[in-house]
């Protein structure tokens, strides 16, 4: 029978063991490569925006349909959002607002959040987050819920037209 020796006990002064994740010889994990992730993310975002610019969601068959609207007939806060984004990309702010007013109103916030993440990931610069406190997300969720209820009232379609 061979005797098995227990691994050596490391004291805090000994430093990391060879081959451990914090060892200087261990390769950095893929998550530590922010520029790669930023490049992939930017490619996907701008590729999606290019498709949305050139292919009208009203005629394109590969765009997803709203599950809530198809099953219940109720419009979610995102109904008409692809067509509104298409109109915004073409500079038609009024048409976009008629299709989905909430998307047009939240577009500057969405743009800021995207730019903030790009600056943080690529350049390492921290911009202030718009959601510093948890209650701000709850307020945003409440606004979206109120908007969903408001746009499903019968008089909404007479004011703005039907969006789906």
Q: How far apart are CA 102 and CA 96, in angstroms?
A: 10
Residue ranges making up the domain that contains 66: 32-149
- The reply to whether 55 falls in a domain is yes
Q: For the chain, how many structural domains are there in total? A: 1
- The reply to whether 157 falls in a domain is no
Q: What does the pLDDT read at residue 114? A: 83
Q: How far apart are CA 88 and CA 111, in angstroms?
A: 13
Q: In this structure, are residues 109 and 130 in contact, taking their beta carbons and an 8 Å threshold? A: yes
In terms of C-beta distances under 8 Å and separation of at least 24 residues, what long-range contacts does 16-23 make, across chains too? none
- The reply to whether 11 falls in a domain is no
pTM reported for the whole predicted model: 0.68
What contacts 92, CB < 8 A, 6 or more positions away? none
- The reply to whether 131 falls in a domain is yes
Q: What does the pLDDT read at residue 17? A: 54
**Percent helix, percent strand, percent coil in the chain, to nearest 5:** 60, 0, 40
Put residue 126 in one of left, alpha, beta given phi > 0 → left and psi -120 to 50 → alpha.
Answer: beta
- The reply to whether 25 falls in a domain is no
- The reply to whether 96 falls in a domain is yes
Rounded average pLDDT per 10-residue block, the chain, 164 residues: 60 52 56 69 88 90 87 89 94 93 92 84 81 88 91 72 56
């Amino acid at each position: 029978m061979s005797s098995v020796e227990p691994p050596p006990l490391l004291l805090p002064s000994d430093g990391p063991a060879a081959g451990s994740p914090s060892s200087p010889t261990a390769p950095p994990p893929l998550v530590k490569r922010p520029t790669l992730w930023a490049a992939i993310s930017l490619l996907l975002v701008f590729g999606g925006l290019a498709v949305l610019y050139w292919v009208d969601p009203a005629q394109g068959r590969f765009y997803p349909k709203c599950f809530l609207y198809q099953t219940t007939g109720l419009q979610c806060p995102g109904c008409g959002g692809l067509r509104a984004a298409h109109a915004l990309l073409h500079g038609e702010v009024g048409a976009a607002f008629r299709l989905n007013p909430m998307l047009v109103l939240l577009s500057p916030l969405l743009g800021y959040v995207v730019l903030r993440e790009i600056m943080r990931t690529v350049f390492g610069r921290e911009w202030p987050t718009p959601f510093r406190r948890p209650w701000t997300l709850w307020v945003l969720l409440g606004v979206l819920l109120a908007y969903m209820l408001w746009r499903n009232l019968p008089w909404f379609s007479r004011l703005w037209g039907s969006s789906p």
